[in-house]
C-alpha cells in the first residue's frame, strides 16, 4: 500500500495533549477547557500560566503566592548581566533570548526533573529581564534595575521599557497579549520543544529548541513585518492602493491567514479591540484605520483574515514597545505553553522518531577512488 507524504505534517496527529484545543471548523481556542474569550476579558497572564503548568486555575492565595515567586526569580546574576552586556547591539534579539536561556541552563542547571516547576517559573520571570536588560544597555547605554514594584509580568515589562509606572490600559492590553500568545497546541516551536524533551533532555535545552524555531520568519516575526507595512501610510486610501499593488505582484502580506484556522483567528477580535482603544487613547487613529482598510481589502480580494499578529503590531507600538522586541515578547509569553508541553511530554514519554520516504538513488556499487577519474 502506497504511503502518502503530508508535507509539513499537515493533518497528521503527532500526539495527544490536554493543554489546549484548536477548533479548526468552529474557530475557537481553549486552554485546558477554558475559552480564551473568558481569559481575555477576566483573567491575568499569571492565572493562565498557572493553569497551563498546574492544570487548574489558582485560588486568590495561590495566585498571590505564585506572583511573589515569579517576582523573586526576576533578578539576574552579575555573570549573566556581563554576558548580556557583551552581546552587541546588532545581534538578532531572538539570538539574545536563545543565548540567555542557554546560559541560565549552564548557571542554574536542571539536575533532575523534580525541580521542573521551579525551572519554568525561573524562565517565566527571567526571560523578560534578560531581554530588556540587553536592549536598554546595548541600545540606550543604560544599566537598568531589574527590580520593580509591579507584581504582574505585563506591568514589569512595561515598567522596564519606559522606566516609569505604566498606564493601566497599557498594562491590561499587555496582559491580554501575553494570554493570547501563551499557548497554541502543536505549533512548530512547541513541537520542537516536545521533540527535544522526548529525548529526556533538560527543560532549558527544550526551550532553546522552541526559541530557535520561533526565530524563523515563517513562525515568528509577522507582527514586526506588519508594523513596517502599516506605518508607511498616512491614510487608509494610500494603504489600499499600495497593498493592491502588492497583491498584483503576488507579494506575501504578513499577519494574514493561518495554517489551522480557515475562516478567522479567534484571538484577533480581542487584540483588534485593544488596537482601537489604544489608538483612541493616543489620539492617533491612523494606524488603526490603515489596519482596518488593509483587513477589508484582503478579505474582499483574497478571502484572507488577520491573525493575532496583525493588530498586535499597532498595540505594541502604542504601548511603546520597540519593534525589534515584538517577537522576543512572543517568547516571554509562549514559554508558559512550552514548559507545560515539556511537562506533559515527560509525564507520558516516548521518543519522537518519525519515518521518512526515501527518494534517493537505488542501490549502486561503490567505485574505488582510483576508478573515478581525475
Q: Residue 295 is part of a domain; what is its CATH number?
A: 1.10.230.10
The one catalytic residue in 170, 309, 317, 341 is 309
What confidence tier does 27 reach under pLDDT thresholds 50, 70, 90? confident
**What spatial distance separates the first Cα and last Cα of the chain, rounded to whole Å?**
45
Concerning whether 139 is annotated as a catalytic residue, the answer is no
93-107 and 78-86 helices cross at what angle (nearest 10)?
150
φ, ψ at 34 (rounded to 5°)? -100, 140
Q: Are residues 196 and 247 both part of a single domain?
A: no
Q: Are residues 191 and 144 both part of a single domain?
A: yes
What confidence tier does 9 reach under pLDDT thresholds 50, 70, 90? confident
d(CA 220, CA 242): 24
Question: pTM value?
Answer: 0.94
What confidence tier does 88 reach under pLDDT thresholds 50, 70, 90? very high
pLDDT of residue 23: 76
Q: Is the pLDDT of residue 143 over 70?
A: yes
The one catalytic residue in 37, 117, 151, 219 is 219
d(CA 20, CA 326): 24
Q: Are residues 68 and 163 both part of a single domain?
A: yes
pLDDT of residue 26: 67
The one catalytic residue in 258, 270, 317, 341 is 258
What confidence tier does 24 reach under pLDDT thresholds 50, 70, 90? low
φ, ψ at 59 (rounded to 5°)? -75, 175
pLDDT of residue 13: 79
* Three-state secondary structure readout of 299-364: HHHHCCCECHHHHHHHHHHHCCCCHHHHHHHHHHHHHHHHHHHHHHHHHCCCCCCCCCCCCCCCCC
Q: Residue 338 is part of a domain; what is its CATH number?
A: 1.10.580.10
8 A C-beta contact, residue 333 and residue 177: yes
Q: Is the pLDDT of residue 30 over 90?
A: yes
How many domains does the chain fold into?
2
Is residue 275, in this structure, part of any structural domain at all? yes
Concerning whether 258 is annotated as a catalytic residue, the answer is yes
Length of the chain as a residue count: 374
Helix or strand holding residue 30 (H, E): strand 29-31
Average pLDDT over residues 313-325: 96
8 A C-beta contact, residue 186 and residue 340: no
What confidence tier does 82 reach under pLDDT thresholds 50, 70, 90? very high
d(CA 217, CA 333): 18
Among candidate residues 332, 325, 324, the one with its CA nearest the CA of residue 45: 332
pLDDT of residue 374: 81
Concerning whether 265 is annotated as a catalytic residue, the answer is no
Q: Is the pLDDT of residue 344 over 80?
A: yes
Is residue 8, in this structure, part of any structural domain at all? no
Q: Are residues 157 and 188 both part of a single domain?
A: yes
- Cα radius of gyration rounded to whole Å, the chain: 22
Q: Are residues 272 and 144 both part of a single domain?
A: no
Is residue 13, in this structure, part of any structural domain at all? no
| 32, 38, 72, 217, 276 from 340: Cα distances, Å | 11, 20, 21, 24, 32
Q: Are residues 252 and 296 both part of a single domain?
A: yes
pLDDT of residue 218: 83
Q: Is the pLDDT of residue 3 over 70?
A: no
Q: Are residues 95 and 234 both part of a single domain?
A: no
| 223, 294, 297 from 247: Cα distances, Å | 19, 11, 10
What confidence tier does 111 reach under pLDDT thresholds 50, 70, 90? very high
Q: Which domain holds residue 190?
A: 33-217+334-347
8 A C-beta contact, residue 52 and residue 337: yes
pLDDT of residue 12: 80
Average pLDDT over residues 323-327: 95
Q: Is the dihedral of CA 312, 315, 319, 321 positive or negative?
A: positive
pLDDT per position as a tens digit, 271-303: 999 999 999 999 999 999 999 999 999 999 999
Amino acid at each position: 500500500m502506497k504511503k502518502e507524504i503530508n508535507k509539513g505534517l499537515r493533518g497528521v496527529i503527532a500526539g495527544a495533549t490536554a493543554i489546549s484545543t484548536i477548533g479548526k471548523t468552529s474557530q475557537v481556542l481553549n486552554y485546558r477547557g477554558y475559552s480564551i474569550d473568558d481569559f481575555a476579558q477576566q483573567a491575568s497572564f499569571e492565572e493562565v500560566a498557572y493553569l497551563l503548568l498546574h492544570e487548574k486555575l489558582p485560588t486568590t492565595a495561590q495566585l498571590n503566592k505564585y506572583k511573589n515567586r515569579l517576582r523573586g526569580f526576576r533578578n539576574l546574576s552579575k555573570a549573566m548581566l556581563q554576558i548580556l552586556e557583551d552581546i552587541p547591539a546588532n545581534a538578532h534579539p531572538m539570538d539574545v533570548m536563545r543565548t540567555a536561556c542557554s546560559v541560565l541552563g549552564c548557571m542554574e542547571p536542571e539536575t533532575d526533573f523534580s525541580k521542573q516547576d521551579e525551572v519554568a517559573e525561573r524562565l517565566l520571570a527571567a526571560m523578560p529581564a534578560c531581554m530588556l536588560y540587553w536592549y536598554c544597555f546595548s541600545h540606550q547605554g543604560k544599566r537598568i534595575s531589574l527590580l520593580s514594584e509591579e507584581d504582574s509580568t505585563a506591568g514589569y515589562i512595561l515598567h522596564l521599557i519606559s522606566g516609569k509606572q505604566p498606564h493601566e490600559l497599557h498594562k491590561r492590553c499587555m496582559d491580554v497579549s501575553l494570554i493570547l500568545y501563551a499557548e497554541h497546541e502543536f505549533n512548530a516551536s512547541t513541537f520542537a520543544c516536545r521533540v527535544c524533551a522526548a529525548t529526556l533532555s533538560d527543560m532549558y535545552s527544550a526551550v532553546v529548541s522552541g526559541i530557535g524555531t520561533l526565530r524563523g520568519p515563517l513562525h515568528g516575526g509577522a507582527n514586526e513585518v506588519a508594523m513596517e507595512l502599516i506605518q508607511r501610510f498616512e491614510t487608509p486610501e494610500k494603504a489600499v492602493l499600495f497593498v493592491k499593488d502588492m497583491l498584483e505582484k503576488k507579494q506575501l502580506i504578513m499577519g494574514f491567514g493561518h495554517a489551522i484556522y480557515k475562516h478567522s483567528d479567534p484571538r484577533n477580535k480581542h487584540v483588534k479591540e485593544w488596537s482601537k482603544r489604544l489608538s483612541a487613547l493616543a489620539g492617533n487613529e491612523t494606524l488603526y484605520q490603515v489596519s482596518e482598510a488593509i483587513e477589508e481589502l484582503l478579505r474582499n480580494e483574497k478571502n484572507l483574515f488577520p491573525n493575532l499578529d496583525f493588530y498586535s503590531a499597532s498595540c505594541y507600538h502604542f504601548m511603546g514597545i520597540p519593534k525589534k522586541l515584538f517577537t522576543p515578547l512572543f517568547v516571554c509569553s509562549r514559554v508558559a505553553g512550552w514548559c507545560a508541553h515539556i511537562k506533559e511530554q515527560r509525564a507520558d514519554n516516548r521518543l519522537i522518531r518519525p519515518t521518512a520516504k526515501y527518494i534517493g538513488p537505488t542501490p549502486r556499487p561503490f567505485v574505488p577512488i582510483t576508478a573515478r577519474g581525475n
